[in-house]
Amino acid sequence: MKFQRVCVLGSTGSIGESTLDVISRHPESMAVYALSAHSRVERLAAQAAATSARVVIVADTAARMRFLQAWPAGRPLPEIRVGTQALTDTAADPEVTTVMAAIVGAAGLPSALAAAQAGKRVLLANKEALVAAGGLFMRTVRDHGAELLPIDSEHNAIFQCLPVNASASAPVGPAKGVRRLLLTASGGPFRCMALDELDHVTPDQACAHPNWSMGRKISVDSATMLNKGLEVIEAHWLFAMPVERIQVLIHPQSMVHSMVEYEDGSILAQLGQPDMRTPIAYGLGFPQRIDSGVGLLQLAALGRLDFELPDYARFPCLRLAFEALVGGQASCVALNAANEVAVDQFLKEQIGYTQIARIIEASLERVARQSLPGPDTLEDVLELDARARGIALELCTSIA
Binding site for Mg ion (CB under 5 A): 152-154
Query: Is the CA virtual torsion 119, 124, 128, 133 positive or negative?
Result: positive
Which is nearer to ligand NAD, 33 or 372 (by Cβ)? 33
Name the nearest CA neighbour of 108 among 225, 15, 45: 15
Counting contacts by CB under 6 A, is residue 99 touching ligand NAD? no
Counting contacts by CB under 6 A, is residue 231 touching ligand NAD? no
Which is nearer to ligand NAD, 176 or 348 (by Cβ)? 348
Q: Which of 7, 53, 63, 103 binds ligand NAD (CB under 6 A)?
A: 103
Using CB under 6 A, count the residues that bind ligand NAD.
25
For residue 287, is the peptide bond before it cis, meaning its omega torsion is within 30 degrees of 0? Answer: yes
Q: Which of 107, 193, 290, 297 binds ligand NAD (CB under 6 A)?
A: 107
What does 202 bind: ligand NAD, Mg ion, none (CB cut-off 5 to 8 Å by kind)?
none
Q: How far apart are CA 204 and CA 335, in angstroms?
A: 24
Counting contacts by CB under 6 A, is residue 124 touching ligand NAD? no
Which is nearer to ligand NAD, 356 or 362 (by Cβ)? 356
What does 215 bind: ligand NAD, Mg ion, none (CB cut-off 5 to 8 Å by kind)?
ligand NAD
Counting contacts by CB under 6 A, is residue 128 touching ligand NAD? yes
Cα angle, residue 359 at apex, residues 221 and 250 outer, rounded to 5° = 30
Name the nearest CA neighbour of 243 among 383, 169, 134: 134
Counting contacts by CB under 6 A, is residue 127 touching ligand NAD? yes
Counting contacts by CB under 6 A, is residue 320 touching ligand NAD? no
What does 138 bind: ligand NAD, Mg ion, none (CB cut-off 5 to 8 Å by kind)?
none
Beta strand 147-150 pairing with 178-185: unpaired
Q: How far apart are CA 9 and CA 34, in angstroms?
A: 8
Site string for ligand NAD, 187-216 (x = CB under 6 A): -------------------------x-xx-
What does 274 bind: Mg ion, ligand NAD, none (CB cut-off 5 to 8 Å by kind)?
none
Q: Which of 4, 6, 10, 137 binds ligand NAD (CB under 6 A)?
A: 10
Beta strand 256-262 pairing with 267-271: antiparallel
Counting contacts by CB under 6 A, is residue 126 touching ligand NAD? yes
Site string for ligand NAD, 32-71 (x = CB under 6 A): -----xxx--------------------------------
Q: Which of 34, 56, 91, 102 binds ligand NAD (CB under 6 A)?
A: 102
Counting contacts by CB under 6 A, is residue 276 touching ligand NAD? yes
Q: How far apart are CA 203 and CA 216, in angstroms?
A: 9
Residue at shortest CB range from Mg ion: 152
Residues in the site for ligand NAD, rule: CB under 6 A? 10-16, 37-39, 102-104, 107, 125-128, 152, 212, 214-215, 217-218, 276
